[in-house]
């Protein structure tokens, strides 16, 4: 069976987008998605994203399979790419704002006039049970608690954006050996569903640098949910402002944790790379 796809990236975090509007379950298996993400034997990507029919009053449903053959609840860069993909599919009938159902809840991306996409990412979940992590009691926030990884004690803050994040602040993000330390964080026993891990260098209160090890994808050039979680962690730790630019290897995301409604808003690009059939 031939499958049409379109490749997009958000700050270098790249995805294979598939029009799956004709049925409510993804047309590929997890194993097939893993094979397509292989950069040598497949199309290549950090994940496969399916545009499925909407449910519960939404316009569309998003499902995302990671490059390691697991499924993620949501992806910040991915949902911006999905919004652009949907608008391209709809053509002249395209809207500028969509309500998209995900495993992490309903997200609302808005296509801006300058080509950027702004996404209402919802309210962060901060209690240990919501992450989930066993670093503290279930009803407590995990803010700058010690975690031993690779024989070193790291001060970590945990946030869920519908998917788990462990954030640690460092002096120099370029000095972190992500390929070595990332898997040890991801699979640490205190994270029963594994975790994304963000290493953050504070440049100014409104500007930070971030490198990320993504659960299920490894080293990536950007992570939208991670950028959101990192600003939340910075605010909780008293290190950064509620509106901040997050510099990732693939570019910059603008993040706002609104004081008014406690929701997170992420703004960044989504770019079509090429389309094909496999």
Which residues have C-beta within 8 Å of that of residue 177, sequence separation ≥ 6?
none
Angle between helical axes of 76-90 and 224-236 (0-180°, round to 10): 140
Q: DSSP character for 12?
A: T
- Given CA atoms 132, 134, 135, 141 in this order, what sign does their dihedral have? positive
Active site residue 223: yes
> Kind of pairing, strands 71-72 and 196-204?
unpaired
- Dihedral sign, CA of 175, 178, 184, 185? positive
The catalytically annotated residue of 81, 158, 223, 228 is 223
Count of other CB atoms within 10 angstroms of residue 277: 7
Inter-residue contact 198 to 158 (CB < 8 Å): no
- Which residue of the set 37, 75, 81, 240 is catalytic? 75
Least Cα distance to 234 among 225, 245, 242 occurs for 242
User: Is residue 240 annotated as a catalytic residue, yes or no?
Assistant: no
Q: Residue with structure tokens 């992806």?
A: 75
CA proximity to 66, closest of 45, 43, 41: 45
Residue with tokens 């652009």: 84
The rounded distance, in Å, linking the Cα atoms of 186 and 35 is 22
Contact 47, 64 (CB under 8 A): yes
Rg (CA), the chain: 18
Whether 251 and 175 have beta carbons less than 8 Å apart is answered as no
Q: Which two tokens stand for residue 162?
A: 């519908």
Catalytic residue numbers read: 75, 223
């Amino acid at each position: 069976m031939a499958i049409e796809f379109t490749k997009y990236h958000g700050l270098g975090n790249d995805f294979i987008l598939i029009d799956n509007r004709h049925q409510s379950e993804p047309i590929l298996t997890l194993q097939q998605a893993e094979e397509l993400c292989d950069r040598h034997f497949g199309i290549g990507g950090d994940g496969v994203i399916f545009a499925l029919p909407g449910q519960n009053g939404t316009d569309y449903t998003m499902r995302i399979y990671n490059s390691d053959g697991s499924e993620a609840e949501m992806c910040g860069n991915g949902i911006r790419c999905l919004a652009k993909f949907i608008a391209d599919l709809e053509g002249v009938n395209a809207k500028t704002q969509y309500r998209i159902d995900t495993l992490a809840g309903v997200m609302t991306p808005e296509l801006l006039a300058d080509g950027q996409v702004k996404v209402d990412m919802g309210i962060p979940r901060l209690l240990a049970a919501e992450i989930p992590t066993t670093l503290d009691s279930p009803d407590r926030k995990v803010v700058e608690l010690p975690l031993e990884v690779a024989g070193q004690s790291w001060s970590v803050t945990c946030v869920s954006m519908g998917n788990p994040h462990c954030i640690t602040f460092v002096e120099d993000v370029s000095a972190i050996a992500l390929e070595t330390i990332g898997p040890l964080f991801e699979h640490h026993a205190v994270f029963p569903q594994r975790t994304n891990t963000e290493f953050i260098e504070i440049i100014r209160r409104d500007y930070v640098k971030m490198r990320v090890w993504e659960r299920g994808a490894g080293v990536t050039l950007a992570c939208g949910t991670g950028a959101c979680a990192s600003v939340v962690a910075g605010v909780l730790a008293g290190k950064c402002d509620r509106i901040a630019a997050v510099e990732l290897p693939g570019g910059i995301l603008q993040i706002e944790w609104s004081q008014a409604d406690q929701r997170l808003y992420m703004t960044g690009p989504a770019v079509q790379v090429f389309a094909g059939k496999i």
